[in-house]
Structures are given as structure tokens and as C-alpha cells.
Amino acid sequence: MDDRKPIVIVKDLNYRYDRDWVLKNIQLTVNKGDFLAIVGPNGSGKSTLLKLILGLLKIQQGEILLFGEPLERFRHWEKVGFVSQKANAFNKAFPATVFEVVRSGLTKRNGLFKPYPKTTVKKVIEALKAVQMEEFLYRNIGELSGGQQQRVFIARALIGDPELLILDEPTVGIDTKRVSAFYELMQKLNREKGITLIIVTHDTGIISKKVSHVACLNKHLYFHGNSSEFEQFDQKELSSFYGHEVKILTHDHQEGGME
Amino acid sequence: MIESLMKYEFLQNAFITGLLIGLIAPILGVFIVVRKQALIADALSHITLGGIAFSLLLGKFWSSFSTLNPVYGGMVFSVTGSLLIEKLRSVYKHYEELAIPIIMSFGIGLSVIFISMADGFTTDLFGYLFGSVSAVSRVDLLIVLGISMMVIVTIFFLYKGLFLLSFDEEHGRTMGLPSKTINFIFIVTVALVIAISMRIVGILLVSSLMTLPVASSIRIAKSFKQMIFLSVLFGEIAVIGGLISAYYLDLAPGGTIVVIAAFILLLVILYKNVQYKFQSGR
Ligand SMILES: Nc1ncnc2c1ncn2[C@@H]1O[C@H](COP(=O)(O)OP(=O)(O)OP(=O)(O)O)[C@@H](O)[C@H]1O
Ligand SMILES: [Mg+2]
């Protein structure tokens, strides 16, 4: 098996909501086993790019291939997991338990029309353990804190055993200690299960220590390369791209530190 | 009561129909309420009324239509109305709730026109508005039975999809869920159930059988599954209690059913208050 199989290919992509182009001429390839971080200032089009890849927005110009297939023909959505930026924009009045929410992540794997199999409880607990939320199994989702809800949604994405996992700012609202634990979990999934990861984040300080590739997006793709290249990427360039000073930590003893 | 139930066919019809509607209306109601679409039921019931008035009008002027069950007319109007609502919701993307008053007033307008064209009805329009214990025929029962089975099968197969779409539509779509198709099937199902429920609860009160039991269960349910279960339980209590009291007190069952459902809601709220005071140690 070819390990460098491209999982996501973005070609000549342009996108605009109404007048102004939000994404311009994006070229991006994510290979199997990559752990890609997309960084960029607010409003730079990061979430828009993810939504296009996930088929939530319609492609206007350009092309996207998922697992080698053009997006319009891609049907194997069970291979793709997603945790959205507005993970807590779900229907708050919905009286569902954590168990029911995480289980719903299996919908595509098990078949939309089939009842859940008996092994489901075990799988739900396993997924919750990965995010250290197993003790909340039968709690109401609306009663959890924002960070706890976020972890439940990560578990919901993990339970379907995705081959490609896409997370939009998953560490927002999660405390520092758990941010490290979160990245450890992602690295583990990436190394042990070979899951390809795309994550949008503002953790620019630590990111190059955690991921294999970095992409800097601000309407255009300013930089795309592996994390050691990213460390070489001129600090001034990055700061001007962000519009303010940005530090990249390259010393090991500062690993895990948050800004 | 049991004796009369054994003896009179119309009572059997009314009871079995009531039990079926007490089951399916709250199940659909759960999804309607969590999707914040409670008013859709109201809009559809008014358009159904238009369909019934139209059937009665046809029957009055053309004898060949007089044997046609008005339930069919109600169904056709209701389903058409549901499709119009979906269409309007996509036209007014940012004002989706506008579709509801539009369809609702249109339904009332049509009904008023048909009723005045017929110069009033000799048939019991009152029964369609507020329900009736005696008007349910065997044919009505069979229609309700058929539709109920269809609804139960539909909900069984669509449960996972409806759960996902109601909880977090965007996430559902990232799983490749055919959200448009599911929404479409759902609203047509709701339209059919509203049309068949009118004989028992009446057009004006159908929507409350879909929402009141859910309003009660949502206060105390610990999970989604439990919410469905409790809604059905409360719905059935209201229907059975309502039919029995309507029979003995000679009232329209729509009224008694809804009043009992409201009473259950009151009890639930009281229970919650007591429980809260107890927990906060006062
Ligand atoms: N639904 C929408 N309609 C119109 N414009 C939109 C919409 N969503 C986003 N935009 C615009 O598109 C641009 C990119 O938005 P996007 O959400 O992709 O940014 P982002 O990089 O994810 O930002 P953040 O870091 O704040 O999450 C912004 O200028 C935003 O105003
Ligand atoms: Mg964003």
C-alpha cells in the first residue's frame, strides 16, 4: 500500500460568499498520515475552506478531491469525522444524554436505517475515555460546560473510526492541561491508527511541535510545508501575515506551554 | 364503559382511533418541538380544515361526491400545504418562520370561503372542528390504522436521521445525510397525521396533542428516548381520559383531551417546583 496516497486535494479553489473573495487560488494536498495544522487570523477563510472540503458549501470555482474522488461523487462520508468550530451551537433545548449524542456519530458507519448493534455502549465508553469524559455517560448534554461539550463532540467524531478527521479550533475553551492531553491524543491517533488529521487552530506557539505540516492561510495560502520548514519560516513574515507579532517556540523545554 | 365499548361499534372505532393517534401524534410532536416547529402543526391543521370544507362543499352540490370521505380532501390539502411550507422556507431563507402565518391564514381564508359558499353545512362541521366520539366510522378507523402503520415504520427507519438533523443539522450533513429528503418525508408524515387526527381531537386542537404531552415530558425526561416514551404515555392518558369523560359528559372530545393534557403539564410543572425546592433545601 502506498502510504503517501493523497487524501485531500484542493485545486485552484476560489470562493466568495457575496462580493469579496474569501479564498483565492488555493492549492493544497494532504497525504495519508499527515497531521496538518491550518493557522491564520480571524476571518481568513479557514472555516470556509473546511466547509468546502466537507461539502457543506458548494464549490464555485476549482476542484476538491476526497480519497481520490471528486467531491460531487464522494459518498463515503463515514471515513470523514468533523468537529465544528461552533460545536456548542447545537440545539440546547434538546434533552439528549452524552451517550445518545456520541452514539449518533455511528449513524453512517452502521447504516442510516439500521438499529444500533449491541456493541454500541462499549464503543461509546471507549470514545468517551479517549477524551476523559466517560463519567458523564448518562448526563444531559445541555448541562455540561462548554469545554466538556467540546470533548463530547470530539468523542462523537472519534467513534466512527474516521480515516480523515477534521477539527475546527478544537482546543478553544479547553483548559491548558487538557490541551496537551488533546494533542497527545491526536498524535496517538495519527501515529497508531494512521488517521489523517486537519486541524484549524490559533495555538501557533506550540503547533509546530505537535503536527507534521502547517499551512498559513489568509485568503491566499501563504505557506504550506512540514513543521521544521515552518519553524524556519521567517518570524517577520509570519507576523506580517498575522498583522501582529507571533512567536514560534522551537525549544523543547517550552513544549506544552500556552500563550 | 367497558360494556358500552363491547356493545357499540362507534365507541370501538373512536377508542382504537384515539389510541393510535395518542401514540403517533406525540412521537411526531417530539421532533416538531425539538426542531422549534411547533407552529407548523397549527398551520397545517388550518389548511386541512380548508380541505374538509372543500369536500363538504363538493358533496353538497354534486351528489357523486357526497359519499367521499372528507378525510381524503383534508389529507390532500394538508400534504399540499406542507410542501408549500417547505417551498416558502427556502424562498424566505432568513425568515423561515414566515411560512407558517402565510399558510395558516391562507388555510383559514380558504375555509371561510368554502363554508360561506356552501351557506353553512348540514353535516356536522362542529365535529371536525372539535372532534367527536360518535362520528368515527369503520372506514375512518381503517384509514387511521393504515396511516399509523406507515408513520411508525417511517419513524423507525428515520429515527437516526431525524435525531441527527434535529440535534445538529450541520453535523448531520457532514455525515452525508440526505437532509432534504428526510425533512420532506417528515413534514409529509406530519401533514397526514394532522389530517387523520381531526375526527377525534378536531382540527383546532390537533396541534396541542402534538405539543402538550411533549411540553410535559421535556421538563422531566433524562434522555431523548425517555422523552419519546413519556410523551406517548401522557398523550395516551389524555386521549383515554378525554374520550371517557367526553362520552359520559356529552362533550366534544377535543376539549376534554386537551384539558387533560394541559392538566398533566400543570402537574409536571408543580412536581418540578417541589423537587427543586426540596433539592435546594428549603
Ligand atoms: N455565512 C457567511 N456569509 C457571508 N460571509 C461569511 C459567512 N461566513 C463567513 N463569512 C466571511 O468569510 C470570511 C472568512 O470566514 P471564516 O469563517 O472562514 O474565517 P475563519 O478563518 O474561520 O475565522 P475565525 O478564526 O474567526 O474562525 C470572513 O470575512 C467572514 O466575514
Ligand atoms: Mg473559523
The alpha-carbon gap from B223 to the nearest alpha carbon of chain A, in Å, equals 5
For residue A116, give the amino acid letter: Y
- Asked whether the beta carbons of A108 and A161 are under 8 A apart, the reply is no
Q: Is there a contact between A55 and B224 if contact means CB atoms under 8 Å apart?
A: no
Average pLDDT rounded to a whole number, residues B204-230: 92
* Domain spanning A6-85+163-242, CATH class: alpha beta
CB atoms inside a 10 Å sphere around CB B155: 18
**Confidence (pLDDT) at A258:** 40
Chain B positions in Cβ-Cβ contact with residue A73 (cut-off 8 Å): none
Q: Is there a contact between B34 and A112 if contact means CB atoms under 8 Å apart?
A: no
Burial class of residue A58 in the structure, from the number of CB atoms within 10 Å of its CB (0-12 exposed, 13-18 middle, 19+ buried): exposed
**Confidence (pLDDT) at B106:** 92
The C-alpha cell at B163 is 435525531
Q: Which of B160, B224, B225 sits opposite A112 (nearest CB)?
A: B160
Query: Which helix (H) or strand (E) covers residue A51, if one does?
Result: helix A46-53
Measure the CA–CA gap between A214 and A228, rounded to whole angstroms.
9
Put simply, the chain A residues between 101 and 140 with a CB less than 8 A from any chain B CB are: 101, 104, 107-108, 112-113, 138, 140
CB atoms inside a 10 Å sphere around CB B276: 10
Q: Say how many domains are in chain B.
A: 1
SS3 at position B13: helix
Q: Is residue B282, in this structure, part of any structural domain at all?
A: no
Contacts of B266 (CB under 8 A, 6+ apart): none
Put simply, the chain B residues between 161 and 180 with a CB less than 8 A from any chain A CB are: 161, 163-164, 166-168, 170-171, 173-177
Mean pLDDT, chain A cut into blocks of 10 residues (259 residues total): 78 90 91 92 92 92 93 90 76 84 86 82 92 91 85 91 92 82 89 92 80 88 76 66 57 41
**Confidence (pLDDT) at B121:** 64
Domain that holds residue B244: 2-277
User: Nearest 5 degrees, angle CA B166-CA A126-CA A93?
Assistant: 25
Strand partners, A66: A8, A69
For chain A, domain boundaries: 6-85+163-242
Q: Is residue B201, in this structure, part of any structural domain at all?
A: yes
| Closest residue by CA, ligand 1 atom 17 | A47
Q: Which of A84, A107, A156 sits opposite B160 (nearest CB)?
A: A107
Chain B positions in Cβ-Cβ contact with residue A113 (cut-off 8 Å): 157-158, 160
Q: Is residue B111, in this structure, part of any structural domain at all?
A: yes
Which parts of B35-98 fold into alpha helices (H)? 38-61, 70-91
CATH code of B191's domain = 1.10.3470.10
Which site among B158, B164, B175, B217 would you substitute to test the A interface, given the most A Cβ atoms closer than 10 Å to its Cβ? Answer: B175
**Confidence (pLDDT) at B281:** 62
**Confidence (pLDDT) at B192:** 92
Burial class of residue B220 in the structure, from the number of CB atoms within 10 Å of its CB (0-12 exposed, 13-18 middle, 19+ buried): middle
The alpha-carbon gap from B243 to the nearest alpha carbon of chain A, in Å, equals 31
- Report ipTM (2 d.p.): 0.81
The C-alpha cell at B270 is 408543580
Q: Is residue B82, in this structure, part of any structural domain at all?
A: yes
pLDDT at B132 > cutoff 60: yes
